[in-house]
Structure 1
Amino acid sequence: MAFRERTDSSVWQRLAGCFLTLVLAACSTLPPEGIPVVTSFDIARYEGKWYEIARLDHSFERGLTDVNATYHRLPGGTVEVVNRGFDAQRGAWRQAVGKARFNRGESEGTLKVSFFGPFYGGYHIVALDQAHYRWSMVVGPDRDYLWILSRDKKLPTEVRSRLLEQARSFGFATDRLIWVTHDREDG
């Protein structure tokens, strides 16, 4: 009986270890292979409100319009992230507050963001108006996550075209982008 208990415990420990490995692998904080991140990044200039212009669909923003994100640097090298969007089905604003940490120092636009305790996901700035910090393109840990952001609710046509071409060259399915409307006041 004692041998069987040890065996069962050992099996459960191995299963738990495999599960933990899979969960941690799914929470990658590295950029997708072959996609360079912005260098000479300045978090002080990136702080503030950004409007989501386009995104690839994913469950945590599904159905939201008027989406924006606000970034605020905190003491100790972390960044507060406040994502906000309007859920028309519920007729209410939804908000999520998280924290971000730099992956390789503050001069590179690669961070890990957490909205759920110890679980982090990648946030990688791959295109940025480095002259004025008016627009950016952000990717997640793989090619299923892409956001185009702007300081304004609309993006100039030439900038939009250039970002779409860059996203296609990185292997993103730009034909699946959701173009976010911004018809409401920020509530």
Structure 2
Amino acid sequence: MRRLILAALLAGCSTESPLIPAESYRDTDAPIASIASFDPARFQGRWYEIASYPVPFQSGCRNTQALYGPAPQGISVTNTCLKSGRTLRIDGTARVTGPGRLEVRLDGVPLVAPYWVLWVDEGYRTAVVGVPSGRAGWILNREPAIPADRLEAARRILAFYGYDLSRLRATPQNAG
């Protein structure tokens, strides 16, 4: 059960499930698009979750990270977070399905997550990821702390695609 909860937390699945919010955090009438110039090789490596849209089971989770690497069938995925002093982890794979679009499958989870890269800065240091349904979205950064200018740019991207910025929540990234 813990693996399924973490999987839904970190994958942002858009399929109906009691583990993810039925509501959307964005105006689904607003257009949404992934970036055309996405480079999966440059996206690989460690990303720190700087902010996300809250889900009930994410309460108390901190130091959330995603690690992407090469895999025979696409990209390997390892998601971790610290909750109540314990590190939770789930592994899986991602497959590129179009420019800036990934299909994420996590081990032991029957759901597939459409993971759209909405923006990444030129240096692949900060990224904004969302799902078409608007039920999930993230600001990711290569370091645990993000410069104010890139955070503002990421927030503007979310707003442009109809996400409600008042519901975006910072993810604690510290040793505690």
What TM-score do you get using the length of structure 2 for normalisation? 0.78
Larger radius of gyration: 1
Contact 1:43 1:73 in 2 (8 A): no
Question: In the alignment, which of 79, 86, 90 is matched to residue 83 of structure 1?
Answer: 79
8 A Cα contact 1:121 1:141, kept in partner: no
- Code of the residue aligned with 2:38 in structure 1: it is F
Q: Is 1:103 the counterpart of 2:97 in the alignment?
A: yes
Question: Which of 124, 128, 140 is residue 120 of structure 2 equivalent to?
Answer: 128
Question: In proportion to residue count, which structure has more helix?
Answer: 1
Report the residue type matching 1:135 in the other structure. T
Residue-pair matches, total? 151
Q: What 5-or-longer segments of structure 1 have no aligned partner?
A: 1-23
Q: Partner residue of 2:64?
A: 67
Q: Which amino acid aligns with 1:46?
A: F
Q: Give the alignment's Cα RMSD to 1 decimal.
A: 2.1
How far apart are the structure 2 equivalents of 1:92 and 1:83? 14
TM-score between the two structures when normalised by the length of structure 1: 0.73
Equivalent AA in structure 1 for residue 114 of structure 2: G
Q: How many percent of aligned residue pairs carry the same amino acid? A: 27
CA, structure 1 residues 40+160, in 2 after alignment: closer, same or farther (shift >3 Å)? same
Q: Residue 119 of structure 1 corresponds to which residue in structure 2?
A: 111
Are the equivalent residues in 2 in contact too, given 1:55–1:179 (CA < 8 A)? yes
Say if 2:94 and 2:103, in contact at 8 Å, map to a contact too.
yes
Cα deviation for residue 117 of structure 1 reads 4.5
Q: Separation in 2 of the partners of 1:154 and 1:101?
A: 28
1:153 equivalent in alignment to 2:147: no
